[in-house]
Structure 1
Amino acid sequence: MQFEINKSYHGFKLIDEYPINEINSMAKVFEHEKSGARLLHLGNDDDNKVFSVSFRTPPSDSTGVPHIIEHCVLSGSRKYLTKEPFMDMVKGSLNTFINAMTFDDKTMYPIASRNEKDFYNLMDVYLDAVFYPKIYDIPEIFMQEGWHYDLHNKDEKITCKGVVYNEMRGAYSSPSTILEEEVSQSLFPDTCYKYSSGGDPDVIPDLTVEDFKDFHRKFYHPSNSYIYLYGNGDIEKQLQFINDEYLSNFERKFIDSALTLQAPFKEKKECTTYYAISEDEPSENRTYLSANFVFGEFADAKTYLMVNILKNLLIESSAAPLKNALIDKGIGEDILFMNSEGIQPSISFVAKHTSDDKKAEFENIVFSTLKKLVAEGIDKKLIESCINIVEYNLREAEKFPTKGLIYNIISLDSWLYDSHPTTHLQYEKVINDLRSKIDTGYFEKFIEDNIINNPHHSIVVMNPQKGLSEEKAVALEKRLDEYKASLTDEQINRLIEENTVLKEKQLAPDTPEAVATIPKLSVSDVDPKAASIPQEVIKEDDVTLLFHNIFSNNISYVDFLFDVGMIDEELIPYITLLSDIIGDVDTKSYTYSELSNEIYMSTGGIDLSSAVYVENGNDKLYYPKFIISGKAIGDKTITLLELIKELTTSSKLDDKKRVKELIQQIKSKLEMHIYDRGNSVVSNRVSSYFSPASKYSESLNGLDYFWFICNTIENFDTNSDNILANLNKVYNSIFNINNLIISFTGDKKDFDLFRENFTIATSTLNKNKLESKTYDFKETKLNEGIQSSANVQYVAKGFNFKNLGYDYHGSMNVLRMMLNGEYLHDRVRAKGGAYGVGITFTRTGDVTVASYRDPNLKETLKVYDDAAQYIKNLTMDQETLTKFIIGAMSQVDRATTPHMKGEIATQNYIRNISQADIQRERDELLNTKPEEIKVLAELLEKVMEMDYCCVLGNDNTIKENEDAFNKLVKLNK
C-alpha cells in the first residue's frame, strides 16, 4: 500500500516518509490526530518484529516512582485479570524480547516476536497495561512491587520489603551506582537528572500511594507517548489495531513533561560523598576521583557521536592518552569513563582506587594531558580507529540480537527531546563528515571548547567508609521502630491484616476466569522442525575449518579456538589472564598503543577469551579453549589475519610495569561486575563443587579467577619474575596448530578469500605435539557463605542429576519454565522480595537455582527445597501445560545475530551435539506430558537433598546464618 504525506490512516496522520539506508528500512513518522500520540514505523524485511510504547517520565524526587510504576502497571489491567499478565506472557509466549526499562527521563515497554499472533497478543497486553492498569484498584500491587511495611504479628519488628526496594538496595551495593548518582547531582542540580529515577533505597519508603497514582495519571497518556513499530509486519493492520483498541478512546491533552536544560555553571563544583566497605576491608587507596563535564545537547548528531568517540579516544582504547597518563603517574588502579543519559550529555573521567590526597594531581594530569593533546595534535590513527569503533557498534546494533530494540532506544535519544526521531539512525553522513575533519583540528578544538575551557564541570571525591552499612541499618531500624511506636493498636492490626491479605494474594492461584483472559498460543503455532545452522567442516593443513554460510551484512566473523588441555592445573588461571593481557602489551612490531590503532583502523576489533566446552551429556569430559575472535569487511580480513599472527607469535610479556597495570585494571573490572552478575557467580560456584567441567571453569572465569587476580596483584612486586615466567610458558604452549579449530561466519565470497589466506595466521604457529593433562577435580561440598559489603544476597543451590542416575530430557525445559514462571517467581520474588530467581537444567546434568538481589537467605533455600513437593502436588492438564511448552520454546528459539549463530554451531561441533540431538530435544519438549513433569519431581527432590549451596551476600546476614554453611569466606580476602 502506498502512503501519502499529510493523509490519515486509521487516525494516524503521516508526517514524513523516507528511506534509512544505514538500517535498510523505510521510516514513516505519524501523529495520532485525536490523542496526540507520536508513532515511528521502521519497515523492512526483518521478521523479528518489535513494538514499544514509551513515555517521558521526569522524576521530581528519588523515591523511584517511575521505576515502581514500570513494575506495577504490568501486574494486571482492564482486560487481563491475572495477578501478573507480564509473567503469564513470559510463560506462554514465543517472544524474542519482553521487558520494561526505566531510564533517567523515560520509561519504555518493548516486546518482540517473530510470530504474528503472538506479536499482537503482546502488543495488546502492553497497551492495556500502560493505559488501563489495576494499580488504582489493587493496593497490593504497589506493596509487592514497590515497597511496604512488613509486619505479621504485633511483637515482631517492622521491616521494609518490595521488589524495587530490594533491587535498588542491590544496585546501591555497587560504588559505581553511588558515584553516578553523586555526579548527576553535582552537574544537574536544577533539573530532574539530580534525582534517582530507579529509586534511592533510603528514600523509596517516602513514596506514598497517592503520589504513585498521581505520577501515572500525569504521564501515562497517549499525548505523552512515543509508539514504535519495526519489522515486516502489516503497518495498516497495526495502525488500525492501535487506534481502534486504544488511542481512539483518548482526547489530546497538554502534559507538562518538558525536560529543562541545566543552566551552565560559571565555575566548577566540588563534592565529597561516601560508600560502604566492610570492617575487614582495607580503606587505603580505595577512593574514587571523578572529573565531570556537561556540553551540548544529546539531540545534536555530532555531539551524540562525539561522546562515544571521546570515550574510546581518551579512556577505553589501549592507546588512550588520558588513561595512560593517569595510570603512568599512579593515579588509581583503573581509569573509567562514564556518560549520562538525558537531554544534555555529560562525560566523566574516573580514577578508581586512589587516595583523596591525589585530587589536585588528578585534576592537573587531566587538564595538562588534554592541553598537550590540543597543542601537539591527537594521533590521527587513534582518531580514525575510534570513529571505526563507533561505526561498527552502530552497524551491528551493539551486537544485540533484537536489533529493532536498539534502533528504538537510539531513536528516543533525539525523539524524546523534541527533535527528529531518526536523527541518530541516519549516521553515515555524520560519520563521513567527522572522518573528513581528522586533519582539520576539529577534535582538538572540540576537547578545548567542551572540556578544557568548560566551566560546567565538577570534581567528585568518593571515599570509603567502614561501618556505613551498619550505620544505615541502625538508622533504618530506628526509623522503623519509631514508626511502629507511633501506631495505635488499631493501626498495627490493620497493618498486619494488610500484610496477611498481600501474602494470601501472592500465593493464591489466579481464578479460571482470570486465566481465561490471557491470550494463548497452541503448539501448532510452533515450527516442529528445529532450525539448522549451516556448517561445512573442512580439514585443511592440520586445521579444522568450520564455515557458516550466513548473511552478515558483508562482515566476516573469524574465531580461532586453540586447545589448552596441555596446561598444568596450577597454571589454568593464567589462560584467562593471558586473554586479558594480550593485545594490551607491546609486540615485536608495535607498541600496545600502535597495535590498538592498527586493529581498529582495519577491523571491527579483536577479542580474546577463554571457555570450557562440555561433552554432550558428560561433564567429566570437556574441552577448554583459548578463543581469538575478530571481524573485518572485505579484504581487510587479510589484515585481520596478519594482526592475529602478531598477537599469537610476537606478543612481549616482559614489561613488568605494564603487566602490573593491566592486572590492576582486570581486578577493578572484576570487582565492578561481581554484584551485577551475582546470581551467575554463585550458580557457577556451586556447580564447581560437584562438576569437573565447572571446577575448571571456576579457575578460568569464576571466583577462583578473581581471587587469583587479587593474590597476583598483591604479591606482584615480590613474585613478578615467576608471574611473567608462567605467562610466557602458557603463551608458548597454547598457540599451537594441533587441534586448532577456526570458525568463519559470513558470505561464500568472503570465506573463499579467507580460506586462501588463513595460513597467514597459522603457518608460524608452534607445531609440537603436546600431551593433554588429566586433572583430578574431586567432588567437594564446600557450601560457602561468601561475605561482602552487599546489602542483599545471591543464593544458589544445585547438583548433577546424572550422578544420581537420571538422563537429560527435553521436558526439563518445560519444568524450568514452570518453576521460574510460577513457583520460584511467586515465592522468591513476589513474596520474598528478591529482584529475580531462576533454575537451569543442562545437557550435562547440572541443575542450579539462584536468586538475584535477594533480601532473604534461609527462606530462599527452603523454597528451593520445597520445589519438588510443589510439583508432586500440582494438578495440571495438557492445556495448562501447553503455555509452559510455548514459553520454553521462546528460550530455545531465541533471537540470534549472525555471529551468534556461528558460535552456536561451533559449540555444537566441539561438544558433539548433532542436529538429531537438537531435534530430539525439541520433539521431547513439544510433546511433554503432565506425567513426565511429575516424574521430574523425584529428580528435583534428590538434587536438593544433596544440599550443595553457595551464597554471596551481606557480611552480617551471612554470619547470622552461619549454620547454613560449611565455611565462611571473605569476598575481598
Structure 2
Amino acid sequence: MSSTTTPDASRFTAHPQFEHLATHELPEYRARGLLLRHRKTGCQVYHIVNDDIENLFAFALKTLPADSSGVAHILEHTVLCGSQAFPLKDPFLLLLKGSMSTFLNAFTFPDKTVYPASSTVEKDLFNIMRVYGDAVFFPLLKRHMFQQEGYRLQLDEHGKLALTGVVFNEMKGAYATHDAIASEWAYRSLFPDTPYANDSGGDPQHIPDLTYEQFLEFHRRHYHPSNTRVFLYGNIATGRYLDFLHHNFLDRFERLEVAFTVPRQPRWDRPRTLQRTFPVDSAAACERQASVTLNWLLCPVTDQHNVLALEILSEILLGHSGAPLQKVIVESELGEDLSAPTGLETELLELVFSAGMRGTDARHRRAIETLIIGELERLRDSGIPADIRTGALRRVEFRNREIRGGGPFGLRLMRKALRGWLHDGTPDVTLRFNDTFQRLTAAIDADPRYFEGLIDRYLLGNRHRTTLVVTPDEQHAEREQRAFSERLHAVEQTLDQAARREIEADQRRLLEYQSAADSPQDLARIPFLQRSDVPSRVETIDFRTFSTSGVDVYRHDLFTNGIAYIDLAFALDDLPAELLPLVPFFTSVLTECGLSGVGYDELSTQLALHTGGFSVRAEVGCHADNPERVVPLLFMRLKSLESALPQAVDLVVQIMLDADFGNARRIHDVLTEARNDMRSSIIPAGHMYSMTRAAAALSPTAAVEERWKGVSQLLFLSEHCVDGGAERLGAALRKLRDHVINRARLKVGFTCDPASGVPVQQQVERLAAALPAGPKIGEQHAFSGSLQQRPRVESLLVPTQVNYVARAMAGSPIGTTEQTAEVLLGHLMSTGYLWERIRMKGGAYGAFSSSRGAEQVFVFGSYRDPNITATLDAFHAALHHFSAAPVDERSLDLAVLGTVGGELRPLAPAERGLVSFRRILYRVSDQIRQAKRDAMLSMTPQQLQRAAERLLVHEQSAAVVVIGGRKAVADAAATLPELMLHVMEIAV
C-alpha cells in the first residue's frame, strides 16, 4: 500500500443516482470509507478512498447453497464464459492474456461469490470492470458452457458413459486429501441446520444432481444488483466509479426484494461426534493416519469486540510452538502434530474455533478430547502466564500495524469488509482495529482474568461442539468410483439408440464450440490497452551500502510504520554434499528446538514478546550475469518494532549460535510435523511437485530446488522419522550451523523508516559483530554435482482420481532475448492453446507453461487433470502450433501487456527492501532488467516462432513426470509403456 495520507473529503460530491449512507474514518489504513446505495436497485457500494495507485474493485454476491451440487461454484466459472456485450468463448481468458491487472480472479466461499480485480492503470481497471460486470449481470450461460465448466455425460472411445467437467474434476481432487476433508467438515459439522451444512464448491457425488434449469434459476435469483455489494479501493475518484456502475449495469435493473440471510444455528445441549474417511492406497498406509479435532461454534462475526478477543485467545492457545494448547497436543504422544483445521475461522456468519491432532488413531478420540478439555480447564483455573498473554497481544497488534504485501492491499480489506457487510452489518464494523483494540485492552486491564473468562464462556461452557474424526480407508476410493459407475450404469440402462445419438451430438456440438475461433468482430469488443501503454522504463529501488565487521550491508529507507526488517543471507556455495538435503529441515528446526538451558516453549514465548517474527528459509538461484553459477542461500528475516529491536537482535543472535540441537525429542516432533506438512501438500500442489521434479532432470539449479522442496525432501524426512533418526540429525544440524553461521558468508539488507536509519543501522552492526568471523568460502562442490542421473520418464503414484502431468526441456538462460521470448511464448500458450485444449476440452482444472530462466528450463504442467497421454500430446501440439507460423501482432501485444502487468504491482515496504536485496545477491542489475523490458517491448512474432522451434528440438530430450492414481497411470501406460519403467508410490 503506497498511501501516506488520509484523502480529502472534498473528493466526493453527492451523486444523483446514489444515496450517501455513511462516511467512515479509517485511520489504521490512512483512508476514508464511503458507503452508498443505488437508489433504483438498492445495490450497496463501499469505497475505501486513499492514495494507493493499485486500485481494486469487487462484485460480491450472497450465494447460499441449498445442497452440495456446487451450483455457486459452477456459476463462478460459467459467468466468465461470455456475456451479452462480450459474446466470446472466454473473456476471462482474454483478460488473463492481455490486461495489465495486478490481480484477476473469482472466488466461491461457503456463503458468497466474489469477483475481484486490481490494476495500477486506471483505463485498464475500467476495461476489466466492464467485462466483469457484464459477466456477472448479463452472462450467456449457454448449455454447452454449463457442460464444459460443470459436468457432462460423454461416451468414451469404447462407447461407455463417463462423467467429466472442470468443476467436477477440480472437486474430485479436493476430496482426495485428508486435510481438505478435515478442514471442510470441521465447520460444516457445526451448522447442520443452515446452508453451511452444504459444500458450496460441490461434492463430486452430488454435482451430477444439478440440472441446467436449476443452474439458470440460481443465477436469476442471486445475480441481481439488489443482492450485490460492490467494493472499491484506491485513489480513483468515487464519482467516476458511480457513473460507470450506473450507466453500464445498474440502470438496466429494477429493485428486487431479496431475503438471502444465513440463519443462526440453533445451539445444542450436548456435543456431537462425526466421522469421515479419506482415501489411501493400502492398509499399511492406514496406520496412525487419522485426525481428531474438537470444534466450537462461537460468536457472530459482526461482534467485533469479541471477535478480536477470540483472535487473541486463539493466539494465546495456539499461536506458536510454546503456546500452551499447541504444546500439550504435540507433546502428548497420542499423535504427531496439529490437525489441519486447528485455529480460528472468521469467514462465516459465526466464528469457529478448532483444536486437534493428526497422525493419530481413531481409538484415541476420547483421550484427545480429555487432553484438550483438561488443558483448557487447567488454564482457566490456574491462569494464563502473563508473558504468553502479553506476547499474544503484541503479536496481534503487530500484524494489524504491519503494511503487509503478498497481494493487493485492497484485497485484504475487501475480505475484512465483506465479513460483516454480507451479513447486514456495515463494512466498517469488521474493518476497524484501533478503537476496538483500545477498548479491549482497557477491559483486559480492568479484569486480569479476562481471557480465562473467555475460555470458560466460549469453550468449556459451550456445549455446541463437535468432535470430528477423519480416518484413512483403503476402500474409500473404490466406493467412490463404484458409486459413479453404478450411477452411470443406471443411466446407461435407460438409453436407447436415440438417446445415445443425442449424447454423441452434444459431444460434437461442444467440441465444435470449443474448437471454433472467436470472430474478429467479437474479439474487438474486449477493450485492451496498447503495447505503447506499457511503461518503457523499469522501476528501480534506491539503497545505500556500507560494510561493518567485514560484512556488506544494504540499507533501504522506506516508510514502514515503525517496523524494522533485517534480512540475513548466508552463502551455501561450499556446503558438504552430505549436508545438502538437511538444509530445509535446518530452516524448520532452528527456532523450534530451544536454546541451551531454555526450552523451546520459552523461546517461542520470547520471540512472540520481542519480535514481530523471525523466519528462516533456503532458496537457490543463479547469477543473472553468469547463469551457470548455482547460488544457494540461507535467508533469515527479523521483523521488529524499532523500539524493541535491541532485545530482538539479542534473541536472534542466541538462536543462531546456541540452538539446542541435542534435544532429540523435540527434533523428532518438528521432523514429524515437517514430513506431515509435505505429505499433505502433495495432492493439492501436485503440479508444483511434478514440474519441479521434471526440471530437476535437466538443471543443477532445479535439482537443488527439488532436493529441498520436492518429493526428494519428503523421502529424506520420512527416512529419518524412525528410531534414532533425530539423534543422527542433531549431530548433522550442529555441523551445518558451524559451517554456515559466520560473517565470512553473510550479507545483510535492512529496511526501516528514514528517521530511524541510524539506530537500526547500529543494531545491524551489533548483530554482525556478534557472529564468528569464519573461514574463507571454498569452491562449490555440493551444488555443482547436484544434477544426479535421473530417469527421463517417471510416475509417482498417489491415491487420487485426477492427475498432475509435467514435461520439462532445456530452455534459454536468464537475461537473454531468447529467454524473454520464451517467457512470452509461455504466457501465450498458458492463456490460449493449452487452456482451450487441456482445460476446456480435456476437463482439467489448470494447464500452464513457463520459462524458468534461473534454471534454464521450460516447463509444462497440468492440474487436477483427468487425462495423461492426451495432455502430453497437447504439450507437444502447442509447440508445433506456434512453430508453424508467426503469431499475429495483436496476440503478441496482449502477451506483452499481460506479462508486464504482473511486474507493475506496487510492493509493500517490506517487499521492496527484500526484492532489492535479492536482486543484489543474484546480480539482477537494473541494466539487466531494463534490457529485458526493452526486449519485451520490441519482440517480434518471428522471435516467438523461433523460440517454439528451439523448444521443439529440445523436446526430444525432455523429462516427463506424472503424479496420479494407480489405475490412471496403468491405463496411460498402454499407450506410453515408458510410464511404468520408473514408478514410485508416495505415501500421503
Cα deviation code 1:410-441 (max 9, x no counterpart)? 00111111112111221112223333406621
Counterpart residue identity of residue 853, structure 2: R
Shift of the 817–778 alpha-carbon distance from structure 1 to 2, 3 Å rule, reads closer
Q: Which runs of 5+ in 1 are unaligned?
A: none
> Residue 67 of structure 1 aligns with which residue?
73
SS in 1 for 2:492: helix
Q: Within 5 A, what are the aligned runs for 1:871-890?
A: 871-874=882-885, 876-890=887-901
Instruction: Report which stretch shifted further, 546-555 or 155-164.
Output: 546-555
Q: Is the contact made by 1:867 and 1:941 (CA closer than 8 Å) also made in structure 2?
A: no
Letter of the 2:928 partner, please give it: D
Look up the equivalent residue of 2:987 and give its one-letter code. N
Corresponding residue of 1:239: 242
Alpha-carbon spacing, 1:740–1:3, altered in 2? closer, same or farther (3 Å): closer
Instruction: Name the SS of the counterpart of 2:832 in structure 1.
Output: helix
Deviation per residue, 1:664-698 (Å, 9 max, x gap)? 11112112222222211111111111111111222
Query: Which one of the candidate residues 425, 439, 449 is aligned to 2:431?
Result: 425
Matches within 5 A, 1:788-799: 788-799=798-809
CA–CA distance in structure 2, aligned partners of residues 87 and 368 of structure 1: 53
Asked whether the 8 Å contact 1:587–1:650 carries over to 2, the reply is yes
Q: How does 1:560-571 map to 2 (within 5 A)?
A: 560-571=568-579
Which letter does structure 1 place at the counterpart of 2:915? Answer: I
Structure 1 pair 804–664 and aligned structure 2 pair: CA distance change class (3 A):
closer
Matched ranges for 1:496-895 at <5 A: 496-588=504-596, 590-616=598-624, 619-713=627-721, 715=722, 717-769=723-775, 770-775=777-782, 776-778=785-787, 780-782=789-791, 783-802=793-812, 808-844=818-854, 845-874=856-885, 876-895=887-906
Offset from partner CA, 1:868-897 (integer Å, 9 cap, x none): 211033463323321221111112323432
2 CA distance for matches of 1:167 and 1:750? 49
TM-score where L is the length of structure 1: 0.96
Measure how far apart 1:743 and its partner are. 1.1
2:143 maps to a residue whose letter is P
Question: What amino acid is the match of 1:869?
Answer: H
Q: 1:675 to 1:304 in 2, by over 3 A?
A: farther
Residue among 233, 251, 254 paired with 1:248: 251
Task: Tell whether 2:915 aligns with 1:904.
Answer: yes
- Per-residue Cα deviation, 1:623-667 (whole angstroms, up to 9, x for no partner): 211111111122322222112101111211111111111111111
Counterpart position of 2:925: 914
CA distance in 1, matches of 2:714, 2:65: 38
Which string of whole-angstrom CA distances, capped at 9 and with x for unpartnered residues, describes residues 22-68 of structure 1? 00111111111110101101100000001111001110000111111
Structure 2 match to 1:343:
349
For structure 2, which runs of at least 5 residues remain unmatched after alignment?
1-6
Question: Could you tell me which residue of structure 2 aligns to residue 104 of structure 1?
Answer: 110
Cα–Cα, structure 1 residues 805 and 84, in superposed 2: closer, same or farther, change >3 Å? Answer: closer
Q: Do the aligned partners of residues 229 and 916 (structure 1) sit closer, same or farther apart at CA in structure 2, a change above 3 Å counting?
A: same
Matched AA of 1:839: S
SS at match of 2:547: strand
Do the aligned residues in 2 keep the contact of 1:820 with 1:839 (CA within 8 Å)? yes
Following the alignment from structure 1 to structure 2, what is the Cα–Cα distance between the partners of residues 777 and 346? 46
Spell out the pairing of 1:920-931 with structure 2 (5 A cutoff). 920-931=931-942
Amino acid at match of 2:490: E
Deviation at 1:152, TM superposition (A): 5.7
Residue identity in the other structure for 1:878:
E
Structure 1 residues 779 and 659: alpha-carbon distance in aligned structure 2, compared to 1, 3 A threshold: closer
Correspondences of 1:287-436 after superposition (within 5 Å): 287-336=290-339, 337-340=342-345, 341-396=347-402, 399-436=405-442
Q: How far apart are the structure 2 equivalents of 1:331 and 1:344?
A: 30
CA offset at residue 6 of structure 1? 13
1:434-484 Cα distance to aligned partner (Å, 9 max, x none) = 334066211110011110111100111111111211221122122212212
Residue 52 (structure 2) pairs with residue 46 (structure 1) = yes
Deviations 1:910-952 (A, max 9, x none): 2222111100110111111111111112112123221311111
2:489 to 465, 472, 481: 481
What CA RMSD, in Å, does the superposition of the two structures yield over aligned residues?
2.1
Match of 2:770, SS? Answer: coil
Decide which of 150, 162, 186 is 1:146's aligned counterpart: 150
Code of the aligned partner of 1:771? G
CA drift at 1:749 = 2.8
Counterpart in the other structure of 2:4: none
Residue number in structure 2 paired with 1:161: 164
**3-state DSSP of counterpart to 2:322:** coil
**Residues 722-771 of structure 1: CA deviation (Å, up to 9, x unaligned):** 22111111122211111201111232333322221223322232323153
Partner SS, residue 350 of structure 2: coil
Cα distance between partner residues in 2 of 1:16 and 1:828:
48
Question: 1:92 and 1:559 mapped to 2: Cα distance?
Answer: 35
Instruction: Give distance in 2, aligned partners of 1:463 and 1:156.
Output: 37
User: What is the rounded CA distance, in whole Å, between the counterparts of 1:648 and 1:771 in structure 2?
Assistant: 22
- Residues 101 and 118 in structure 2, CA contact (< 8 A), matched pair in contact too: yes
> Is this contact kept in 2: 1:312–1:386, CA < 8 A?
yes
Cα 1:631–1:589 shift into 2, 3 Å = farther
The verdict on how the C-alpha distance between 1:306 and 1:397 changes in structure 2, with shifts beyond 3 A counting, is: farther
Q: Which moved more, 1:642-651 or 1:213-222?
A: 642-651
Tell me which amino acid in the other structure corresponds to 2:889: Q
Q: Is the 8 A contact 2:549 2:768 kept in 1?
A: no
Distance 1:651 1:718, change over 3 A: closer
In structure 1, give the amino acid aligned to 2:376. Answer: L
Secondary structure at the aligned position of 1:810 is classed as: helix
| 8 Å contact from structure 1 (residues 152, 496) kept in 2 | no
Is 1:801–1:807's contact at 8 Å kept on the other side of the alignment? Answer: no
Partners of 2:955 and 2:500 lie apart in 1 by 38
Supply the distance in 2 between the matched residues of 1:572 and 1:942 (Cα, whole angstroms).
33
Contact 1:276–1:468 under 8 Å retained in 2: yes
The alignment's TM-score, normalised by the length of structure 2, stands at 0.95
1:803 offset after TM fit, Å? 9.1
Task: Give 1:267-278 correspondences, 5 Å limit.
Answer: 267-278=270-281
- State whether residues 813 and 925 of structure 1, in contact with CA within 8 Å, keep that contact through their aligned partners in structure 2: no
Aligned length in residues:
968
Deviations for 1:816-866, whole angstroms, at most 9, x for unmatched residues? Answer: 221111011111111111111211113332111111111111111111111
Q: Identity across aligned pairs (percent)?
A: 27
SS at match of 1:924: helix
Q: Which moved more, 1:724-733 or 1:548-557?
A: 548-557
CA distance in 2, matches of 1:370, 1:289: 17
Q: Say which SS state the counterpart of residue 837 (structure 1) adopts.
A: strand
Distance in 2, matches of 1:830 and 1:435, equals 54
1:15 equivalent among 21, 35, 53: 21
CA shift, 1:791, in A, is 2.1
Name the amino acid aligned to 1:224: N
Amino acid at match of 2:778: E
Is contact 1:790-1:954 (8 Å) kept? yes
Are 1:445 and 2:445 counterparts? no
- Which residue of 1 is the match for residue 3 of structure 2? none
* CA drift at 1:898: 2.1
854-863 or 171-180: bigger deviation:
171-180
For the structure 1 residues 527 and 342, does the alpha-carbon distance in structure 2 shift closer, same or farther, using more than 3 Å as the test? Answer: same
For the residues of structure 1 that align with 2:583 and 2:119, how far apart are their CA atoms?
39
Contact in 1 for aligned 2:120/2:905 (Cα 8 Å): no
- 1:866/1:618 Cα in 2 relative to 1: closer, same or farther (>3 Å)? farther
